[in-house]
Structure 1
């Protein structure tokens, strides 16, 4: 009996509950749930009080059951086909910037059934915890291998702010890769770093050097292209990498300066903005 208990898999329901001494509590609402040696009450509590989590849990249970059947009834080549389908699904989500929750959308599930009635899409939990980390590791290794063959590289970087007013710094690498005797231009985003400190030149320089060191390209960089903000200019002076201001950004600054210097043009621009704002705010006017 001890051996059977030791080999029995832990129920998925316990992902949402924890034990304190002899009592069991819900991780979400902290309510105590009575159990009698099984997980029936745990599932019942989720179904009654946390429907989203219950739906996700049921989907994961069905997926596990489907995978168990596949292991028994399906030969190895079909397992490889399923892995490719899973990889392709995650690549689609990443390429098109789709939300992971797309696998729960009824229309998407109907579409998959129309293509392959036997295919069961993975749950959000599986995609987040298993599939994305695996593909990320694979892609990272492939990119590192490609970068290791590059003699020189340049990078572009930019600061931006999310809707939640969180600052980020994106580092994009550009280099030449030779494939079967043909030189190809390559560009890849190495990292989008969250800027949790003040956006000073010193802090930006630290982030840039950290990313470059992590990818072992710090000695291959021949030039960096950025906007012309003072903190970015200081950051590149600190790193001692050659620096070119972005032409498009510089041109934009010239145009803005020229408009601001001419009262008639700036006044006309202000009036145009007011007209556009009026039509955006008024449904009747826009009709």
Structure 2
């Protein structure tokens, strides 16, 4: 059996196909019958795509040729020079040594390991066992040579992807470390390629020194975009938080920006409901109860025993975070779920405080009231959520809050205040072109979620942008008539009262009025078709429909790049907090940024290798 099978495996669905263990690419085994199978294609794949594995394969093949039928090496005389060479350590510039060094840096970046791992006894023994001829590099060699080399490789790959993108959207945020005096400014990018496949990349997580003024941030933006040679005309939008300095920085830099929808929801819920006196008092008591178990292992173990006695799942109470309203929602949920266990605990042991019957009722009703907000927050935090989700989400949420329900008793004031807060925080979203046009070209929504007096204005916005982009485009316009595109498969299931509002709004809206003109007819035909399911993917829709609506497809490729939240930047800083932690609180910011860049963008190189 050929040693090439150390690097491949037979496809479980088709014996004629082999799958590469490294990049998961598939290749034919050389024929349609078993008797015709060979390994030529597999060896070529190794030689062209995996040079390290190919070298090992050649070495293993040569060793196998020296073995007899029983697997024993033939008695061949080797020279003293050859014997010494087999014991000699690799030089630093040896291909095998360089390949291992690269894998060590990848391990450090991907797994958030400290550079000092190369000095750990267990790791060094493992590497020595796997390759006795390899000499472990020094910390200085890793940080000064190996890390920049890998960063350069990944950087070149991302640079090529960015250069091919016509319209790019960005997210940005500022993060301050809790273990060192370091602040970092992020910049993430996302765009749609010609096949309407969403691409994402982390461009920067650089140190942000000094005061975080709008002028300083705008200057940092200028340096970032110059580094990547991204002209301002290619910047569709920058999504940032609601802080004034970030909004002013984007304005001074001269690029359009939008606030993060998740941050806006945070402000609406905090100001509209959680600040109510009775609700705030109930939450304060709940926090003290949760804190009692968080800070007492004995209390925690006693609580677990009670849960088991009551045949309840063993769960810990969740502590909320002031900057995340949904964490307060989850804390209330965990308290209400454990109401029986908490009552039993209070009967036998001492608690710092207890919730009254009225406060329990307030929590239960607030969970029901805030459930649509939590669902909307989850929806807009998905990787494929776009600015098109803002208007339908706000309109559906507003309609739901305006409805009266029996469960509102006791929280009517909070519900009314929430409705006012949502209306105030999201005032004007239907007339904001970046939101309106994105909603119109999202086949799940189109013009169905606009107020009657705003719908015509939204259509005119779309027609204007279609006309402007068509005048500079080179694609041939096609007739709007034709068979409707097949709906893309669902990507996720959604249930709940908020979804009912989406459907209710769709059923109330008619198709648009007839319009004239070539491009206008194309827009009319698109808007006249039924919307695709809420769970479908708008990117897949345009990937299969762009031939019928080429002018609209160009608009969709631009406006659907915009995310509706800065979640990508916030998730980036979650990774940064693992890089700059207590074990690495003195790491240089340049090295930290290179590690984060590699960690987030290295998978892009793996994916593209698999396509080749």
**Same topology, TM > 0.5:** yes
Which residue number in structure 2 is paired with residue 157 of structure 1? 172
3-state SS of paired residue (1:122):
coil
Counterparts of 1:246 and 1:198, CA distance in 2: 22
Which residue number in structure 1 is paired with residue 112 of structure 2? 97
Which residue number in structure 2 is paired with residue 144 of structure 1? 159
Indicate which of 84, 90, 95 corresponds to 1:70: 90
Indicate which of 99, 123, 130 corresponds to 1:84: 99
1:278 and 2:292 equivalent?
Answer: yes
Indicate which of 168, 171, 175 corresponds to 2:191: 175
Counterparts of 2:191 and 2:246, CA distance in 1: 22
How far is 1:183 from its partner? 4.8
Counterparts of 1:184 and 1:127, CA distance in 2: 36
How far is 1:258 from its partner? 2.5
Answer 1 or 2: which has greater strand percent: 1
Which residue number in structure 2 is paired with residue 261 of structure 1? 275
Q: CA contact under 8 A between 1:155 and 1:174: conserved in structure 2?
A: yes
Which residue number in structure 2 is paired with residue 39 of structure 1? none
3-state SS of paired residue (2:255):
coil
How far is 1:278 from its partner? 2.3
How far is 1:162 from its partner? 0.5
Bigger-Rg structure (1/2): 2
Q: CA contact under 8 A between 2:182 and 2:207: conserved in structure 1?
A: yes
How far is 1:254 from its partner? 1.7
Q: CA contact under 8 A between 1:146 and 1:177: conserved in structure 2?
A: no
Counterparts of 2:152 and 2:189, CA distance in 1: 18
Counterparts of 1:98 and 1:127, CA distance in 2: 13
Which residue number in structure 1 is paired with residue 200 of structure 2? 187
Q: Mark the CA change 1:192 to 1:68 in structure 2 (over 3 Å): closer, same or farther.
A: farther
Q: CA contact under 8 A between 2:183 and 2:207: conserved in structure 1?
A: yes
1:240 and 2:254 equivalent?
Answer: yes
1:225 and 2:239 equivalent?
Answer: yes
Deviations 1:252-272 (A, max 9, x none): 222222234321111111111
245-254 vs 149-158, greater mean Cα deviation: 245-254
Deviations 1:132-180 (A, max 9, x none): 01111222222222211111111100111012242221111112345xx
3-state SS of paired residue (2:165):
coil
Counterparts of 2:87 and 2:160, CA distance in 1: 33
How far is 1:81 from its partner? 3.0
Which residue number in structure 1 is paired with residue 589 of structure 2? none
What is the root-mean-square deviation in Å for CA atoms of aligned residues? 2.5
TM score, norm. by length of structure 1: 0.67
Counterparts of 2:212 and 2:176, CA distance in 1: 11
Q: CA contact under 8 A between 2:241 and 2:259: conserved in structure 1?
A: yes
How far is 1:90 from its partner? 0.8
Counterparts of 2:258 and 2:224, CA distance in 1: 19
Q: CA contact under 8 A between 1:205 and 1:238: conserved in structure 2?
A: yes
Indicate which of 121, 131, 151 corresponds to 1:116: 131
Q: CA contact under 8 A between 1:100 and 1:127: conserved in structure 2?
A: yes
Which residue number in structure 2 is paired with residue 198 of structure 1? 211
Which residue number in structure 1 is paired with residue 311 of structure 2? none
Q: CA contact under 8 A between 1:280 and 1:286: conserved in structure 2?
A: yes
